[in-house]
Chains A and B, each alone.
Chain A
Amino acid sequence: MTGREVAWRVLALELRASSEQEKGSGDRVPSYVVSPLGGRMNRVLVVGTLTPPEPAGGDGQSNFWRSRLTDPTGTLPVSAGNFQPRAQADLRRLTAPTPALVIGKANLFRGTTGGWVATVRAESVRPVDPAEYSTALAEAASQTLERLRLVARLRSPPSPSDAELTREGVPPAWVRGARASIARYAAWDPAPYREAVRAVVGSLGTPPSVLPTPGPAAPTPVPGTAPRPTVTVTHLAPPAPRPPPTGQVRALEGTLLDLLDGLAERSADGYADMDDLTELAVQHGIGTERMEELLNHLEESGAVEEPIVGKFRRTGEAASE
Chain B
Amino acid sequence: MDASASAGAPAELRLKDLRPGLPNVLLLGRVVRVERRQVTRKADGSRRTVLSGLLSDGTATVRFTWWDPPAEGVDQGTVLRVANPMVREYRGHPELSFGWSTRLAPASEKELPDVPADSLPLRALGELAPGDEGFRFEARVRDVTSRTVTVGEEQRVVFSGHLADASGERPFTAWVDFRLAAGEALRVGGAYVRSFRGRSEVTLDERSHVERIAGDRLPAAAPRPTEPVPLGRVEGRGGEEDVPFSGIVVDLVSPSGVVHRCPNCQRVLSKGLCRLHGAVEGTADLRLRLVVDDGTGVATVNVGRALSERLLGRSLSDLVARLREQPDPAALEESLREQLVGRRLRVRGAARVDEFGVAVFPTEVEPVGPDPAAARRALERAVAETGG
Contacts and interface: CB of A to CB of B under 8 A. Distances in A.
Interface of A: 1-9, 43, 45, 86, 101, 103, 123-124, 126, 128-132, 134-136, 138-143, 145-146, 148-149, 159-167, 169-174, 179, 194, 197-198, 200-201, 204
A204 B383 contact: no
Given A4-B298, A164-B92, A139 B342 contact: no
Shortest beta-carbon contacts, A-B, top 4: A171-B232, A3-B357, A126-B342, A135-B370
A146 B370 CA distance: 21
B376 A162 contact: no
Nearest to A149: B386
B93 A161 contact: yes
Contacts of B281: none
8 contacts: A5-B298, A134-B372, A141-B379, A169-B236, A170-B233, A171-B235, A171-B296, A172-B235
**Interface size class of chain B, counting residues whose CB lies under 8 Å from the partner chain:** 35 or more
> Mostly helix, strand, loop or mixed at chain B's interface?
mixed
Nearest to A43: B250
B382 interface: yes
A174 B232 contact: yes
Interface in B366-388: 369-372, 375-376, 378-380, 382-383, 386, 388
Contacts of A135: 370-372, 375
Given A123-B251, A159-B92, A162-B93, A145 B300 contact: no
Interface stretch (B127-135, B148-156, B184-192, B219-227): B127-135
B370 A172 contact: no
Contacts of A2: 355-356
Contacts of B263: none
B296 A198 contact: no
B372 A166 contact: no
A2 B369 CA distance: 31
Nearest to B94: A161
Q: Give the one of A145, A171, A198 with max B CB within 10 A.
A: A171
A131 B369 CA distance: 9
B297 A171 contact: yes
A7 B295 contact: yes
Contacts of A145: 379, 382-383, 386
B347 interface: no
Nearest to A167: B127
A101 B342 CA distance: 7
Interface string B95-130: 000000000000000000000000000000001010
Contact of A163 (B132, B251, B296, B344): B132
Contact of A124 (B250, B300, B369, B382): B250
A172 B230 CA distance: 11
Given A7-B298, A167-B127, A198 B372 contact: no
A300 B126 CA distance: 51
Contacts of A86: 334, 337
Given A45-B250, A160-B92, A1 B357 contact: yes
Given A7-B250, A197-B383, 20 more contacts: A3-B298, A3-B357, A4-B298, A4-B300, A86-B334, A103-B251, A126-B342, A134-B375, A135-B371, A138-B376, A139-B378, A140-B295, A145-B379, A148-B386, A161-B93, A166-B129, A170-B236, A173-B235, A198-B388, A204-B376
Contacts of A149: 386
Given A126-B342, A162-B93, A9 B370 contact: no
Given A123-B251, A173-B296, A201 B380 contact: yes
B356 A3 contact: yes
B381 to A, nearest CB: 9
A204 B298 contact: no
Given A6-B296, A162-B93, A174-B296, A138 B379 contact: yes
Contacts of A172: 232, 235-236, 297
B96 to A, nearest CB: 15
Q: Give the one of B237, B358, B370 with max A CB within 10 A.
A: B370
Contacts of A167: 127, 129, 132
Nearest to A135: B370
B291 interface: yes
A140 B297 CA distance: 14
A267 B355 CA distance: 29
B236 A6 contact: no
Interface in B255-304: 291, 293, 295-298, 300
B370 to A, nearest CB: 4
Q: Give the one of B235, B251, B379 with max A CB within 10 A.
A: B379
A319 B230 CA distance: 46
Contacts of B341: 103, 124, 126
B234 to A, nearest CB: 9
Contacts of A140: 295
A162 B91 contact: yes
Nearest to A145: B382
Contact of A162 (B92, B293, B298, B355): B92
Contacts of A179: 91
Contacts of B356: 1-3
B295 A143 contact: yes
Contact of A101 (B248, B295, B369, B379): B248
Contact of A166 (B236, B295, B296): B236
A247 B145 CA distance: 80
A163 B93 contact: yes
B26 interface: no
A163 B232 contact: no
Contacts of A142: 375, 378-379, 382
Contacts of A143: 295-296
Contacts of B375: 134-135, 138-139, 142
A5 B298 CA distance: 7
A179 B297 CA distance: 17
B293 A45 contact: yes
A42 to B, nearest CB: 11
B228 to A, nearest CB: 12
A124 B337 CA distance: 10
Q: Give the one of A2, A130, A163 with max B CB within 10 A.
A: A163
B367 to A, nearest CB: 12
A18 to B, nearest CB: 17
Contacts of B380: 201
Nearest to A100: B342
